[in-house]
Amino acid sequence: MSRIAYVNGAYVPHNQASVHIEDRGYQFADGVYEVWAVRNGRLFDSEGHFRRLSRSLGELEIATPMADQSLSHVLREVVRKNRVKNGLVYLQITRGVAPRDHAFPKGIVPSIVITSKSMNTQLADKTAKIGIAVATMKDERWARCDIKSVSLLPNILAKQAAYEKGALEAWMVDDEGLITEGASSNAWIVTKEGVLTTRSLSSDILGGITRERVLALAAQRQLKVDERAFSASEACEAREAFITSAINMVTPVIKLDNQAIGEGKPGPLASALRKDYLQSAAT
């Protein structure tokens, strides 16, 4: 079966889907996106993703193209049409199509694209059981990382550099030597004292929806949590480390810059939180 995409009001074959060459997402990266994980045909953390989407659009002064209820229907329909049981659904909204000019054009309609694809969740679960390696990279992104913008070039360069070092994720390091977040995830450690630690929300990081869920799960477990910045050296001395994102969910980190973290294998807390997440996040 060929894949189906949704583009500006129409369901079209994926290999024929297109936007205009003067779409501002293409010309200026003038747009935002969201990604929902799909497990057993159901979207994870829908409410949180819609809330963040609304915030990102508002920060960029892009009009909302349709009501959440209508958008939710289209998202689920794209998942259904592509027969995705386990995978993801991707949404992108740009300011729209207009003659190229830096200033906001008036009277244009936002462009919306939705795609969905299946993923090998067994492989993802296997990766989580093994753990991943992470490499630190200088954080060279813009000052509004709290907006889920389609402008991801620094993230791409950081992740590629990490891949070339044999790591699956990059942890960004700011000018003070402190970790902000991953190239496509939030960063966590469990300190030597057993405190679950992740950087506090600010314009320096994206407010991860999975991050939000994990904090709630940690509260249910009555874990001690500290939302603050930490350094790479502190991470290397931690009991455990892990990343969170819609696609990675909760994935243990066992090595940072080729140095083993903890016992060099997934820790019990990260594994427990992943299990909790999988049980709780479907809506």
For residue 118, the surrounding DSSP H or E stretch is strand 111-118
Residue 106 appears among annotated catalytic residues: no
187 forms bridges with which residues in the sheet? 243
Please state, in angstroms and as integers, the Cα–Cα distance from residue 146 to each residue in 47, 50, 162, 213, 244, following that order: 18, 15, 22, 17, 16
- Which of 148, 165, 192, 275 is the catalytic position? 148
Classified as helix, coil or strand, 5 is strand
CA distance 96 to 74: 19
Give the C-alpha separation, 113 to 127, whole Å: 30
N- to C-terminal Cα distance for the chain?
27
Instruction: Specify burial of residue 24 (Cβ count, 10 A radius: 0-12, 13-18, 19+).
Output: buried
- CA dist 70 and 251 (Å) reads 32
Q: Tell me the β-bridge partners of 283.
A: none
Tokens of 24: 């501002």
Just list the catalytic residues: 148
